[in-house]
Amino acid sequence: MSLRARQALVIAVGVVAAAVMTWLGFWQLQVFTDQGNASVQARTQQSPVPLLGQVGADGTVGDIYGKPVTVQGHYLAGEQVLVLGEDGVVRVLSGFQLSDGRVLPIVRGTVAQGASAPPVPTGERTETGLFLPSEAAADHPLTTGYDLGSVRLAQLAQLWPKPLMPGFITLDASAATAQGLQPAAVTLPTGEGSWRNSGYALQWWVFALFGLGMSIRIAQSMATKSTPSQ
């Protein structure tokens, strides 16, 4: 076999090995992502816990985002806004005053564009929903009659003067229907999988680069050895 053929074979083996290790890295990264998604979904299936036991008076939040919570209090009839999403979905966001005086925004459900939201229920109530962090700012245009483009607490605080909780809840399908609304979809927080799997992915990519570099170096050394000394 000629020198060039042997060099090409060595480099080809290096390329194939690097490709396999690169694929293994992406596979490990997908495992990392899947673990994170599974963890987020598992949080939504936990038993509801009292929200006030997870959020301190100073606004300190425990490990509660993305989990079901229960709250006791009453709706504030004068604090209700319509949130027009970029997808055209209109969420009904109502203020719910808790026993400590703070107001929890509650997505009660959705209505069709142009439709009026039903009034809030009266009296003391217990509500259950997923507790979620403030959403990112929205930059899509809002038509007349809509107050917000997302549930962004910094903007909501300008409309509602009372102290707000550092998050909001979304009622489930049965609770939304009971209030004469359509259920609202929930965007769950991003989860994190095992860092061990993400580390394995990085290792495979490092091995791929190292293996490819070594194959090129070996091929070059074969040429050096075959050159007659002067």
What does the DSSP assignment read for 76-136? EEEEEEEEE-TTS-EEEEEEEEETTS-EEEEEEEEE-TTPPPPPPPPS-EEEEEEEEPPPP
Q: Which residues, listed in sequence order, are joined to residue 93 by a DSSP beta bridge?
A: 81, 107
CA distance 185 to 197: 30
Highest mean pLDDT among 14-28, 160-174, 187-201: 160-174
Mean pLDDT, residues 39-65: 79
Mean pLDDT, residues 17-30: 70
pLDDT at res. 230: 47
Q: Which residues, listed in sequence order, are joined to residue 106 by a DSSP beta bridge?
A: 94, 169
> At residue 62, does pLDDT exceed 50?
yes
CA distance 71 to 126: 6
Query: Token pair of 39, please?
Result: 């963890």
pLDDT at res. 151: 92
Contact (CB, 8 A) for 69 and 169: yes
The pLDDT > 90 percentage for the chain reads 34
User: Mind listing the pLDDT tens digit for each residue in 68-92?
Assistant: 899 999 999 889 999 998 888 999 9
Residues constituting the chain:
230
> At residue 146, does pLDDT exceed 80?
yes
Q: What angle do CA 224, 225, 229 make, to 5 degrees?
A: 90
> At residue 61, does pLDDT exceed 90?
no
Residue that has been written with the tokens 């965007």 in this structure: 187
pLDDT at res. 50: 92
- For the whole model, what pTM was predicted? 0.65
CA distance 153 to 214: 54
> At residue 1, does pLDDT exceed 90?
no
Distances (CA, A) of 37 to 40, 206, 210: 5, 26, 32
User: Mind listing the pLDDT tens digit for each residue in 196-219?
Assistant: 545 655 675 677 777 677 777 777
C-alpha torsion sign, points 190, 194, 196, 201: negative
CA distance 33 to 39: 10
Mean pLDDT, residues 140-144: 83
Q: Which residues, listed in sequence order, are joined to residue 182 by a DSSP beta bridge?
A: 110
Q: E strands, the chain, where?
A: 49-50, 68-84, 90-98, 103-111, 125-132, 168-171
User: Mind listing the pLDDT tens digit for each residue in 104-132?
Assistant: 999 999 999 988 889 999 999 999 999 99
Distances (CA, A) of 182 to 107, 118, 220: 11, 11, 68
Q: Which of these ranges, 46-60, 144-158, 201-215, has the smallest mean pLDDT? A: 201-215
Residue 167, burial from CB neighbour count under 10 angstroms (0-12, 13-18, 19+):
buried
- On average, the pLDDT of the chain sits at 81
Higher pLDDT, 3 or 123: 123
> At residue 222, does pLDDT exceed 70?
yes
